Amino acid sequence: MNLQPSPPPQPRQPSMEILGVPVVAMGWQEALDILGGYLRNRFFMPVGFLNAHNANVACADREFARALDSFLVLPDGVGVDIAAKWLHGRPFPANLNGTDFVPALIASISSPLKVALLGATQENAGGAAEQLSALAPQHEYRVIHDGYFTKEQEPDIIADIADYRPDILLVAMGVPRQELWIERNLTSIHCTMPIAVGALLDFLSGRVPRAPLWVRRLRLEWLYRLWIEPGRLWRRYVVGNPLFLARVLAQKFGGYRAGTERVRDA
């Protein structure tokens, strides 16, 4: 697709606020249809996800929280479902986690797209592109760069993106770097839909295993990831999950106000 400047902003989708972040409340097919419409209409729309970890980071990093205001934020995981029940009386209609939803979105669009990948290691990004090509061969895939570029390399990378002008740009740099990078550097002249995808490219490449399907159906994939990578993830889950729930309870009972925390979580 040849991208054009974005049309005027469209109304925001129905959402539920979790710790100051509006998270869209829509079903799986509805989300595919709406995001597919943004792509067909060449409407610039950054997409991100909120899970317990991202919410904790947003509480402690006001710049990250402000950046999310420009994103269409999708619900990811059981933690935000618990929060929605406590705060709004109902869970989100669907778990739109990026690991499952992003490949489904790409596969659901029949007209050829240009899909670019930025981040992870070069090997994992290349493996992810191969897997996506097998899943949705109607599209063109290109790895722009790995996620380990220097500040000096950044202008050339941004220029490469603008020159290629992908419909979808998968940005895999980890939270909050990927969202901040999108917010600071990308507009409609670069791509239509930049998506902050976290570890998606690592999962798609097969070099980082996903939990078995039965574990995912129980919504315990976070526990499997903790078992696989305890040294890296113990703080995110063992400390972070209770902290997230405590913050949600504080919001429910009036003791928490979004944007008031100043201490950064590790």
Residue 230 CB coordination number (10 Å): 11
pLDDT at 254: 83
Q: Given pLDDT bands bounded at 50, 70 and 90, which one contains residue 5?
A: very low
- Span 110-168, pLDDT tens digits: 999 999 999 999 999 999 999 999 999 999 999 999 999 999 999 999 999 999 999 99
pLDDT at 50: 98
Q: Given pLDDT bands bounded at 50, 70 and 90, which one contains residue 246?
A: very high
| Average pLDDT value for residue range 74-90 | 96
CB neighbour class for 207 (10 Å; exposed up to 12, middle 13-18, buried from 19): middle
- Span 183-242, pLDDT tens digits: 999 999 999 999 999 999 999 999 888 888 888 888 889 888 889 889 888 999 999 999
What pTM was estimated for this model as a whole? Answer: 0.91
SS3 210: coil
SS3 54: helix
Instruction: Quote the radius of gyration of the chain (alpha carbons, Å).
Output: 18
Percentage of the chain modeled with pLDDT above 90: 79
Tokens describing residue 104 = 């489904």
SS3 158: helix
pLDDT at 256: 58
Q: State how far the alpha carbon of 95 is from the alpha carbons of 29, 107, 161, 175, 258, in Å.
A: 12, 18, 30, 19, 23
Q: Given pLDDT bands bounded at 50, 70 and 90, which one contains residue 12?
A: low
Select from 204, 198, 199 the least CA-distant residue to 135.
Answer: 204
Tokens describing residue 151 = 């500040």
pLDDT at 3: 42
Who contacts 88 (Cβ-Cβ below 8 Å, separation ≥6)?
Answer: 16
pLDDT at 199: 94
Dihedral sign from CA coordinates of 160, 162, 168, 174: positive
| CB-CB contact of 45 with 35 (8 Å) | yes
What's the one-letter identity of residue 211? A
| Average pLDDT value for residue range 99-110 | 97
Cα three-residue angle 183-185-188, rounded to 5 degrees: 85
pLDDT at 222: 87
pLDDT at 55 over 70: yes
- Among 49-63, 71-85, 99-113, 247-261, which is the least confidently predicted range? 247-261
Asked, as a colleague might, if the bond just before 212 is cis with ω within 30 of 0, I would say no
With residue 172 as reference, give the H or E element that holds it.
strand 168-172
| Average pLDDT value for residue range 89-94 | 96
Select from 25, 111, 123 the least CA-distant residue to 34.
Answer: 25
